[in-house]
C-alpha cells in the first residue's frame, strides 16, 4: 500500500509541475504585454482628453443650443443597449466577472421595454446568451490588441443603430486601467452624448502611466476663439469621432486591465502550485520512509522467524 501511495503522489507532483509551467509562461507573457498596453493607454489619453475639450469648447461657443441627433435626448426611450467590453479568453481572475456583473446591473436599471447587449469579447456573448438576454452583435478577436479601426467598427454600428432610431440610449461598461495594481469597472452613458461630462477624464490623464501631463494645457481655449466654419457645423462633424475616440479609449483600458488581471491570476496560480508541490514532496518523502520502514520490519521479522525455527 505505501508503494502504491508513493507512485500516486509522484504522479500528482508531475501533473502539478506541468500545470505550473503553463501558468508561469502565461504570467510572463501577460507581464510583457502589460507594458505595451500601458504605453498605448498613456499615448491615447491625451488625444481623447483634447478631443473632449474641443467638443466642450465648441458646445460652449454655440451657446448650448446645438441641433444634432447625437445630442438629442429623446422624449420616449423605448429601447436601450449596453456596450459590454469583456475578454475573449478566461484565466484572468475576476476581470470578466466584475464587468459582466456591472453590465447585468445596468440592464436591470435601464427601465425600458427593449434591452439588448452589444458584446465585445466571447465571454460577454456567452454570459448573456446563456441567460437569455438578446445579444445584437458580437465583436471578437479585438480585445487583446485593439486598433482604432476596431473602435471605429464598434462605434459605427452603434451610431447607425442610434441614428436609425433602433436604439434610443447606449451605455458603456468597461474596465478602466488606473495602474498595474488597480483596475476599476466604469459605467458611462455613450449615446446620446452629454457635453457636460465630456471632460470627466480630468487632468490625471497619462500621469500614472508616465504619459503627458495635459493639466496645464487643458483649458487654454479662450472664449474669443474664432471658428470657421460655424461652431455647430464643426461640432456636428466631431461628435461621431468623439464617440469613436471614447470607445477606443475604453478598449485600450480594458485590454490593459485584462493583461494586468491575468498576470496577477497566473502569479497566484504559480505560487499555489509551488506550495502544492512542496506539500506533495513532503507527503512523498513520508510515504517513502514508511515503505522503507515496512520493508526493514519485514526483513527483521523474517530473520527472527527463521532463527526461532532453528
- Any long-range contacts for 123-130 (C-beta under 8 Å, 24+ apart)? 123/86, 123/87, 123/88, 123/89, 123/90, 123/96, 124/84, 124/85, 124/86, 124/96, 124/99, 124/100, 127/86, 127/96, 127/100, 128/84, 128/100, 128/103
Asked, for residue 165, whether it belongs to a domain, the answer is: yes
10 and 78 in a common domain: no
Q: Helix (H, G, I), strand (E, B), or coil: what is residue 21?
A: helix
Question: What is the 8-class DSSP label of residue 76?
Answer: S
Here the CATH number for the domain that contains residue 295 is: 1.10.287.80
Asked, for residue 96, whether it belongs to a domain, the answer is: yes
Q: Which three cell numbers stand for residue 153?
A: 467598427
124 and 240 in a common domain: yes
143 and 187 in a common domain: yes
Asked, for residue 280, whether it belongs to a domain, the answer is: yes
Residue 9 appears among annotated catalytic residues: no
pLDDT for residue 203: 38
253 and 279 in a common domain: no
Closest CA to 162 of 151, 154, 170: 170
CB 147 within 8 A of CB 112: no
177 and 204 in a common domain: yes
Please, what is the angle between helix 231-309 and helix 2-61, to 10°? 170
Beta bridge partners of 85: 120
302 and 232 in a common domain: no
pLDDT for residue 34: 86
139 and 270 in a common domain: no
Instruction: Single out the catalytic residue among 9, 61, 84, 92.
Output: 92
169 and 52 in a common domain: yes
Asked, for residue 94, whether it belongs to a domain, the answer is: yes
Instruction: Give 48-101 pLDDT, tens digit per residue.
Output: 777 777 777 776 666 655 677 777 777 788 889 999 999 998 888 899 999 999
Asked, for residue 217, whether it belongs to a domain, the answer is: yes
Asked, for residue 27, whether it belongs to a domain, the answer is: no
176 and 143 in a common domain: yes
Instruction: Give 215-242 pLDDT, tens digit per residue.
Output: 444 444 444 566 677 777 777 778 888 8
Q: Span 163-188, mean pLDDT?
A: 90
259 and 273 in a common domain: no
Q: Which three cell numbers stand for residue 289?
A: 520512509
pLDDT for residue 290: 78
Domain count, the chain: 2
284 and 247 in a common domain: no
Structural domain of 287: 2-22+266-309
d(CA 63, CA 147): 35
Here the CATH number for the domain that contains residue 111 is: 3.40.1380.10
Q: Helix (H, G, I), strand (E, B), or coil: what is residue 120?
A: strand
Average pLDDT in the chain: 82
Q: Span 108-132, mean pLDDT?
A: 90
6-10, 42-46, 152-156, 209-213: which range is least confident on average? 209-213
302 and 170 in a common domain: no
CB 218 within 8 A of CB 46: no
Per this entry, what is the length of the chain? 310
d(CA 132, CA 136): 12
Amino acid at each position: 500500500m505505501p508503494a502504491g501511495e508513493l507512485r500516486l503522489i509522484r504522479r500528482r507532483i508531475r501533473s502539478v509541475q506541468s500545470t505550473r509551467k503553463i501558468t508561469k509562461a502565461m504570467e510572463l507573457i501577460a507581464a510583457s504585454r502589460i507594458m505595451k498596453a500601458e504605453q498605448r493607454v498613456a499615448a491615447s489619453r491625451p488625444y481623447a482628453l483634447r478631443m473632449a475639450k474641443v467638443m466642450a469648447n465648441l458646445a460652449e461657443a454655440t451657446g448650448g443650443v446645438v441641433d444634432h441627433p447625437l445630442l438629442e435626448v429623446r422624449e420616449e426611450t423605448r429601447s436601450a443597449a449596453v456596450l459590454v467590453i469583456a475578454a475573449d479568453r478566461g484565466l484572468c481572475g475576476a476581470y470578466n466577472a466584475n464587468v459582466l456583473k456591472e453590465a447585468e446591473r445596468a440592464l436591470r436599471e435601464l427601465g425600458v421595454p427593449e434591452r439588448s447587449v452589444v458584446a465585445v469579447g466571447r465571454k460577454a456573448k456567452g454570459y448573456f446568451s446563456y441567460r437569455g438576454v438578446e445579444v445584437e452583435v458580437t465583436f471578437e478577436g479585438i480585445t487583446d490588441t485593439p486598433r482604432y479601426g476596431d473602435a471605429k467598427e464598434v462605434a459605427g454600428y452603434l451610431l447607425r443603430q442610434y441614428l436609425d432610431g433602433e436604439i434610443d440610449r447606449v451605455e458603456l461598461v468597461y474596465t478602466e486601467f488606473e495602474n498595474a495594481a488597480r483596475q476599476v469597472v466604469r459605467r458611462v452613458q455613450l449615446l446620446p452624448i452629454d457635453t457636460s461630462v465630456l471632460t470627466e477624464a480630468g487632468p490625471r490623464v497619462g500621469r500614472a502611466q508616465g504619459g503627458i501631463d495635459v493639466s496645464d494645457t487643458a483649458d487654454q481655449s479662450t472664449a474669443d476663439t474664432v471658428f470657421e466654419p460655424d461652431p455647430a457645423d464643426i461640432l456636428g462633424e466631431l461628435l461621431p469621432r468623439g464617440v469613436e475616440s471614447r470607445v477606443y479609449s475604453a478598449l485600450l483600458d480594458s485590454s490593459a486591465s485584462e493583461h494586468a488581471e491575468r498576470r496577477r491570476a497566473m502569479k497566484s496560480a504559480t505560487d499555489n502550485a509551488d506550495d502544492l508541490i512542496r506539500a506533495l514532496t513532503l507527503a512523498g518523502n513520508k510515504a517513502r520512509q514508511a515503505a522503507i520502514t515496512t520493508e526493514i520490519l519485514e526483513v527483521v521479522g523474517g530473520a527472527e522467524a527463521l532463527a526461532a525455527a532453528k
